[in-house]
Copies of this chain bind each other. A is one copy, B any other.
Amino acid sequence: MKQQDVKPQSNTQRAIEAMRQMIFAGDLPAGSDHLESELAEQLGMSRTPIREAALTLEGQGLLEMRPRKGVRILPVSPDDMREIYDVLTELESLAAKQAAKRRPSHADLAPLAKAITDMDAALAAGALEDWADADERFHKELVRLGGNSRVRMIVNMLSDQVRRARMITLHMRPIPVKSNEDHRAVFDAIKSGDGDQAHIIHRAHRQAAKDLIVGLLEKHKLSRV
C-alpha cells in the first residue's frame, strides 16, 4: 500500500487540518464565533499559524474572519446548497464527459469501480456512513478522471462546504438505491466512451441530489447548517 502524504509538518498545516476536522465534526458549529487566541490555545500554538490557517480556510469558503468578532464558521443555507449543487452539476458532468472522451484504461477506472461496489456493499449492510464515504470517493475519482485540475479543485472545495449538510440529511433521506444505479450508469457510459451519455446521466443525478437535499433542509427547517 502506498504511503499517504506525510503528515503536515508545519503548525500552519496542522492548524488547517485540525480546524477542517473540527468544522466537519461539529466541534466548531456552523455560525459560531471563535477568537484567534482561543483557537490558538486549543491547538497549542500561537496566533500566527492560526491566522494563516484561517486565511486559507476563508479562501476555501469554510469560514470568515471578522475583525473583533472572531472567526465565524460559515453556515450553509438551502439557497447556498442550490448554488453549490448547480456548480457541482455543471462541473462534474463536464468531468464525466471528458473522462469518457479520454477512454480511460481498466486500471484508470479501478478506483471508480471500487467506489461503486463499496457503495453497493455499504447499502446492503445498511451502513450509511460507509455509503457516504464511498459516494464521496466516487465523485472525487470522477473529477480526477476528467483531467481538469481546476474542476477538481473547485469541486473538492464545494464538497467541503456542503459536507455538514450532507451528513445531516444522510439519515433523513430514503435509501439511495437510485443513486447507486446512476453511478453505475455513469460508469458504464464512461467505460464505453459515450461522453454525451455520461454527461446527461450525471447531470440528472446531481440535479436530483440537489432537489432531494434542499427539500429535506427546507422541510426540516434547517435554514443554516
Contacts and interface: CB of A to CB of B under 8 A. Distances in A.
Contacts of A27: none
A87 B91 CA distance: 7
Q: Per DSSP, are chain A's interface residues mostly helix, strand or loop, or mixed?
A: helix
Interface stretch (A54-62, A105-113, A174-182, A206-214): A54-62
Interface in A51-85: 51-52, 55-56, 59-60, 83-84
Contact of A150 (B60, B150, B151, B158): B158
Contacts of A59: 55-56, 59-60
A69 to B, nearest CB: 15
A87 B87 CA distance: 10
A154 interface: yes
Interface in A19-65: 51-52, 55-56, 59-60
B94 A86 contact: yes
A195 to B, nearest CB: 13
Given A60-B59, A91-B90, A94-B90, A83 B52 contact: no
- The 5 lowest CB-CB distance pairs between A and B, nearest first, are A59-B59, A90-B90, A55-B55, A83-B148, A83-B150
Interface of A: 51-52, 55-56, 59-60, 83-84, 86-87, 90-91, 94, 98, 148-151, 154, 158
20 contacts: A51-B52, A52-B55, A55-B56, A55-B59, A56-B59, A59-B60, A83-B149, A84-B150, A86-B94, A86-B98, A86-B148, A86-B151, A87-B91, A87-B148, A87-B154, A90-B90, A90-B91, A90-B94, A91-B91, A150-B158
